[in-house]
DNA sequence: TAAGATTGATTGTTCAATCTTA
DNA sequence: TAAGATTGAACAATCAATCTTA
């Protein structure tokens, strides 16, 4: 169904950045739908993944990872704690800092969610083949790194 | 600065979908920052681009393009109309349908915004080279198409 | 009936400001 | 002073429902 309902791609719809956005929108639409089916909000999933990757970090650090505000993370963490998926423990050295940890139930929920999302990974890899898949990943990472460089330069990081 | 503050990429941080998300996050962070500097919200920019690509379409159609609700588009369109960037005209054949059009000021604002965002396009293209850039775009589009196929199959489009 | 527009209520996020602690 | 947490107000998007028109 390639290009069935797509509008004609002219002008602003040809560059790399547009292609990245388009792919990301598609991926998000898919994963959001899958996650919804198992009653997990996309933002919850993101936080669970982040905590799982770096257990014990503060809410502020998670917020920076996710590019959202600390308040948003606090709100998410509170909800996930209510559902016993996340645990907030006081930091050993800094008393008012809260460490974020996954509970066993949280790890289980994350595992299920990852499995539900994993099918897309396989689908794309099968369609593109292993060679083009790793080529795509490598190019994407180069583009992302370049973009981050551009961002710090733009913010005044360098002349 | 490749990998300076990145966390270790293991497990869920290796696949295509993750690479797509990471790149999209970076691109969005950059463009949002640029747009902000010229007092334009990212969502406003998206709507302007959509209307410019297909002038005269309804708010409902724009909503489908942007993967948001019709109410969200109505709200955005109202704000942009207040700023004289967008014009809502009654559809010639369907009286209660509103056509979305850009005003001259809207076209000017969009042109400026596109220029501000365009620098990233150039930066990536220069870094990757024309060959790898078009390769990346082609792979990205194949991945996006595959994802959309998977989405319709998932929704019950096929067995 | 079907598609688009619109209204009101709810949720989630950001912004702005304050408080605590090392 | 600096970094994290927390509070309340403002904003933006969704959900749910209703209304209009072809």
Judged by a CB distance cut-off of 8 A, whether residue B26 touches chain A is: yes
The number of beta carbons lying within 10 Å of the beta carbon of residue A121 is 18
Q: Which residues of B touch A25 (CB under 8 A)?
A: 67, 144
pLDDT tens digits, B130-141: 999 999 999 999
Structure-token match 């460089």, residue found: A149
Gap between the Cα atoms of B67 and B43, Å rounded: 12
Gap between the Cα atoms of B11 and A69, Å rounded: 26
**Looking at CA atoms only, how far is residue B10 from chain A in angstroms?**
8
Global confidence as pTM: 0.92
pLDDT tens digits, B67-91: 999 999 999 999 999 999 999 999 9
Say if CB B33 and CB B77 are below 8 A apart.
Answer: no
**Looking at CA atoms only, how far is residue A127 from chain B in angstroms?**
7
Say if CB A21 and CB B27 are below 8 A apart.
Answer: yes
Q: What confidence tier does B156 reach under pLDDT thresholds 50, 70, 90?
A: confident
Q: Which residues of chain A have pLDDT under 50?
A: 1-10, 159
Residue A114: phi and psi, rounded to 5, are -60, -40
pLDDT in the model for residue B12: 75
E strands, chain A, are 86-90, 98-102
Share of chain A above pLDDT 90, in %: 87
Judged by a CB distance cut-off of 8 A, whether residue B151 touches chain A is: yes
| Nucleotide nearest A60 (Cα, C1') | D4
By CB atoms closer than 10 A (0-12, 13-18, 19+), residue A103 is middle
**Contact pairs from chain A to chain B, CB under 8 Å:** 198
SS3 B151: helix
E strands, chain B, are 86-90, 98-102
């Amino acid at each position: 169904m390639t290009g069935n309902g797509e509008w004609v791609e002219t002008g602003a719809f040809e560059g790399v950045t547009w292609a990245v956005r388009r792919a990301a929108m598609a991926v998000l639409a898919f994963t959001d739908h899958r996650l919804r089916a198992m009653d997990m909000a996309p933002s919850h999933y993101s936080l669970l993944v982040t905590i799982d990757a770096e257990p014990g970090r503060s809410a502020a650090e998670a917020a920076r990872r996710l590019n959202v505000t600390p308040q948003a993370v606090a709100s998410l963490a509170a909800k996930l704690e209510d559902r016993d998926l996340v645990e907030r423990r006081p930091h050993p050295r800094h008393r008012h800092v809260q460490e974020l940890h996954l509970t066993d139930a949280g790890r289980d929920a994350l595992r299920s969610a990852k499995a539900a999302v994993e099918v897309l990974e396989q689908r794309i890899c099968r369609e593109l083949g292993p060679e083009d898949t790793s080529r795509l990943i490598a190019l994407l990472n180069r583009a992302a790194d370049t973009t981050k460089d551009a961002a710090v330069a733009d913010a005044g990081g360098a002349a």
